[in-house]
């Protein structure tokens, strides 16, 4: 099993655990229901958006092919040109996806190592408040 397959299975396992957890939590707790509804909405919207974007991109490639044929470019050359443009587009999208995945993977490391100043300041203020609150209770 490759690393990406294992990661996907781990993610699906976590989602299944949340769904099973929903079955064991009393019905009066809306937090898990909202979480699952939000996850489902994001999943459906992502799927619909990707299908629409794919159809739009295919339409653009067909438009390029039709435009080349309209300007009397030979059909094999139009197919070759459209294929090269689509291959370059796929390579560019793949490169962008890899860069974005690397950026997402480094995000938790940034939070842990306090490279994000807003998060670090908020965490410091919250810790100081809790320490002061706990200290004041122990003096009483």
Q: Looking at the structure, do residues 118 and 58 belong to the same domain, yes or no?
A: no
The domain boundary, picked from 32, 49, 72, lies at 72
Q: Looking at the structure, do residues 85 and 63 belong to the same domain, yes or no?
A: no
Q: Looking at the structure, do residues 31 and 92 belong to the same domain, yes or no?
A: no
34: Cα within 13 Å, side-chain hemisphere: 4
Is residue 8's pLDDT more than 70? Answer: no
Q: Looking at the structure, do residues 14 and 32 belong to the same domain, yes or no?
A: yes
Instruction: Single out the residue of 119, 58, 112 nearest to residue 86, CA to CA.
Output: 58
Task: Tell me the C-alpha distance between 126 and 118, whole Å.
Answer: 12
**Whole-model pTM?**
0.55
The tokens of 97 are what? 């996806």
On whether the CB atoms of residues 32 and 22 are closer than 8 A, the answer is yes
Q: Looking at the structure, do residues 4 and 52 belong to the same domain, yes or no?
A: yes
Q: Looking at the structure, do residues 64 and 85 belong to the same domain, yes or no?
A: no
The domain boundary, picked from 18, 39, 72, lies at 72
pLDDT of residue 140: 45
CB neighbours of residue 78 within 10 Å: 19
Residue 37: give the domain boundaries: 1-72
72-76, 94-98, 122-126: least confidently modelled range: 122-126
Domain count within the chain = 2
Q: Looking at the structure, do residues 30 and 55 belong to the same domain, yes or no?
A: yes
């Amino acid at each position: 099993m490759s690393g990406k397959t294992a990661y996907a299975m781990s993610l699906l396992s976590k989602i299944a655990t949340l769904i099973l957890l929903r079955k064991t939590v009393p019905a009066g707790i809306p937090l898990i229901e909202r979480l699952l509804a939000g996850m489902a909405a994001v999943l459906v919207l992502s799927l619909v958006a990707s299908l629409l974007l794919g159809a739009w991109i295919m339409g653009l490639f067909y438009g390029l092919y039709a435009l080349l044929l309209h300007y009397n470019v030979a059909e094999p050359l139009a197919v070759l040109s459209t294929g090269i443009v689509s291959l370059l587009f796929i390579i560019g999208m793949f490169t962008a996806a890899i860069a974005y995945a690397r950026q997402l993977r480094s995000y938790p490391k940034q939070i842990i190592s306090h490279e994000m100043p807003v998060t670090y300041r908020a965490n410091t203020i919250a810790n100081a408040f809790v320490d002061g609150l706990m200290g004041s209770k122990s003096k009483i």
